[in-house]
Amino acid sequence: MKKIIVIGAGPAGMMAAIKAAENGADVTILEKMKRPGKKMLITGKGRCNITNAATVPEIIKNIHGNGKFLNSSMRAYDNEDVIYFFESQGVPTKVERGQRVFPVSDKAQDVVDAMVHKLHELDVKIETDSPVSEILAHDGEIKAVKLQSGASFKADAVILCTGGASYPGTGSTGDGYKMAQKLGHTLVDIRPSLVPLETEEDWVKSVQGLSLRNVKATLLVDGEKKTDMFGEMMFTHFGVTGPIILSLSRAATEALANDSFVELELNLKPALAEDVLDARLQRDFAKYQRKQLGNAMVDLLPHKLIEPVLDAAFLEMDKPVHQITVEERHRLGHTLQHLPLTITKARPIAEAIVTAGGISVKEINPKTMESKLVKGLYFAGEVVDVDAYTGGYNLQAAFSMGAAAGNWSVWND
C-alpha cells in the first residue's frame, strides 16, 4: 500500500485524502488545528457555498486567477461530482441565486461532518494538533514529513493543502509556501483577494451597517472603467464590503499595488435609464413639493443614505423642493447613478476570504497536480496560485484539485 501524507484538513486536503484512500492507499492527514475543516465552517456566512451549478467553462471563466490551469482537473471532477458526493453522504443540496449551491440545511457543519465521516469510513487517519515543520526529499523525490514536535512520517507521496494566508485563526498562516519554497518551488507574491475595501470618504461611517441590494458598482482605475458588478454590498466603518465589492477587490488590489488611482462608482438605481430616473424624480418632487429636499427623497433612498447622496450632488438637505432647478435635478439624477468613492487600500490579507498568489502553476502538472520539480509532491487548494470570484468557485477549485492530487498520488508510479 502506498503511504500518502496529506498536509491540511481543509476542503482540498480532505477531498485528496478521500480519493487516495478510495484507490487503496494508506492515508494520513496532518492538521495543525484541533479539528478539520475549520475555515469551511465560516464560508458562505456559515452556510458553505460548496460549488456553482454553472457549466464548467463558465466556472473556469469565474476563476480569474489561472482558471485555465484547472481545465483538466475540473473536467475530471466537476461540480456535478461534488454535488453527487455530498448528496450520497446524506447532505441534500439546493441551488440559489447566481447558481450558488448550498446544503439544504444551510449548515456548513453538515458539509464538514460529511467529509469527516467519509474519511473515517475509509480508515483515513486524521492527526490534529500536528503542525508540520518540513517536507523531506532526497534526490528530487519525497521521503517523509517532519512535525514541529520532531516526529516524522515516512511517505511515498505528500499532498500539500495548507491553504493561503487569509483568516489565520483557521490555520491558514502561509506555512505551505515556506515548505514548497524550501523544496525549490517559486512563490508568486501573495495579496488579498475577495477582501473588503477602505475608502477615503468619511461619510461611510455614518451609514455603516447599511446593506444595499440590486446596485451596480463600477471599478475605475486612473479614470478608466476596469470592471463592474451587480448585486449586494454593505457599508462599514472603514469603507465597503459585500459580494460585489469582494468580487471587484482583486482588480482593485492589483491596481493599488501599481500605485494607480482607484475609485468606485455606485449606481443606486441601475434598473432605470437616465430619462426614466429623471421622470421618477419629477414625480417625487411633485408629490413632496412643499417639503424640504431631504424629506422628498424618502421613497427613493434609505434614510441614512439621503444626506451623503445630496452632499455628493452639492445640494442642501433643507432646500425647498419647489426651488430645485432643472440643472440641480439632473445633477442629483447623475449622482444617484454615479456615487463616487475613493479606494485607499484593501483590508489586511488576514481579513481576505481568499489569498491571491501562491505556488506557481508553471511548476505543477495541471492534470495530476504533481510538482514538476519533486517527484511525489502534490499540491491542491489555496496554496496554489489560483483564486476566483465569490459564488462557490473557490471551493469547486479546491475539490477538483484535491481529487486530482488524491487520485494521481496513487496512480503515478
**pLDDT tens, 105-136?**
999 999 999 999 999 999 999 999 999 999 99
CA 356 centroid distance within chain? 9
pTM of the predicted structure, to 2 decimals: 0.91
Relative to beta strand 3-7, strand 26-30 is: parallel
Run of H or E including 333:
helix 326-337
**Residue 44 banded pLDDT, cuts 50, 70, 90:** confident
Residue 211 makes CB contacts below 8 A (sequence gap 6+) with 232, 233, 234, 242
d(Cα 317, Cα 310) in Å, to the nearest integer?
Answer: 7
377, 405 in Cβ contact below 8 A?
A: no
pLDDT digits (tens, 9 = 90+) for 223-244: 999 999 999 999 999 999 999 9
**Residue 171 banded pLDDT, cuts 50, 70, 90:** confident
Kindly state the average pLDDT of the residues 311-321.
97
**Span(s) in the chain for CATH 1.10.8.50:** 196-346
Q: Which residue has the cell 438605481?
A: 269
Is the pLDDT score of 169 beyond 90?
no
Relative to beta strand 141-147, strand 132-138 is: antiparallel
pLDDT digits (tens, 9 = 90+) for 335-370: 999 999 999 999 999 999 999 999 999 999 999 999
Fold of 196-346: Helicase, Ruva Protein; domain 3 (1.10.8)
Residue 190 CB neighbours (<10 A): 19
**Span(s) in the chain for CATH 3.50.50.60:** 3-192+354-411
User: Could you report how far apart the first and last alpha carbons of the chain are, in Å?
Assistant: 12
Report the CATH superfamily, name and number, of domain 3-192+354-411: FAD/NAD(P)-binding domain (3.50.50.60)
Phi, psi of 388 (to 5 degrees): -135, 175
